[in-house]
Amino acid sequence: MNEKLNLDDALVKEGMAYAEKNFLSENSHLELDKAFINKYYDLNGKRVLDFGCGMGGMTLWMAKHYQCHITGIDIDRHHIEIARMLKAKHGMNQVDFLLQNVVENPIDEKFDYIFLNDVAEHIRPDYLVPIFTQLGKQLKEGGVIFVSYPPWEGPYASHLNRIIPLPWSQKLPEFILMPLLKKRNIRLVGESDLLGEYLQLNHLNHSMLKGIITEAGLHIERRLSHSKVNRVIKGLNLNFWPFKFLITKEIVALTVKP
């Protein structure tokens, strides 16, 4: 048992392996995010904030591939500690990892880029507008907020694939899903379990996000909707009915309204 983290050694090992794969491999669940960044944005010489950095895999990947200084923040102390362990292991001194809630304690700094990779769907609904409003204030002129997430209509929005390998499992009737989830529930590498994480999902989709960012004074500069269709036909951006139910990941780039 790692008493500092209050996690058993197997969970610490799992967390390190998961984050390290996201850091070192191009073949991970963040491969679309990485390709999107490489295609459209140059982080070299920029100040970057990785909001909800988790265990730091994506944060370290950006620091490795671009000459930039990055701050990763998260509210889960286990995630931050594992991120720091991974930083030390690989000697990535251009990265800072902070345990911080930016709504309650904003960072007094402005950034060229702010990233939320698979984070926005986990934020409490009443926090979404305050968080995006605050992040908009922390953008430098011409800065971009990058958001990626699996939309609620899509096949993998439930985050339950590890225990219920069924696409669109969030659409199962509650009287079927909840007993199944409680029976197969597992501890996560963090301060929650899978049941708790599922219940905290805010059911984010593109329509909901548009309303949030409009209220926060932001607008969409660029959008990519990646769906199961793209496995067969590359380059299509199908995000209208009925194809929206096939979207596995939405990626949007946001800027402050002029």
DSSP string, 200-237: H-----HHHHHHHHHHTTEEEEEEEEEEGGGGTSTT--
Q: Where are the alpha helices (DSSP H) in the chain?
A: 9-24, 31-40, 57-65, 77-90, 125-137, 174-184, 194-200, 206-215
Name the residue with tokens 């990055």.
70
CA distance 80 to 97: 6
Cα distances (Å, whole numbers) of residue 105 to 78, 101, 134:
19, 6, 11
CB 142 within 8 A of CB 173: no
Residue 35 token pair: 């390709």
Residue the block writes with tokens 């591939």: 65
pLDDT at 4 over 70: no
Structure token digits, residue 150: 């699996």
Q: Which of 67-81, 173-187, 222-236 has the lowest mean pLDDT?
A: 222-236
The amino acid that residue 20 corresponds to is E
What is the pLDDT averaged over residues 177-198?
93
pLDDT tier at 86 (50, 70, 90 boundaries)?
very high
Among 9-23, 48-62, 239-253, the range with the most confident prediction by mean pLDDT is 48-62
Which CATH code of 3.60.40.10, 3.40.50.10300, 3.40.50.150, 3.30.70.580 fits the domain covering 9-157+201-256?
3.40.50.150
CA distances from 10 to 1, 16, 121 (A): 8, 10, 27
pLDDT tens for 132-174 read 999 999 999 999 999 999 999 999 999 999 999 999 999 999 9
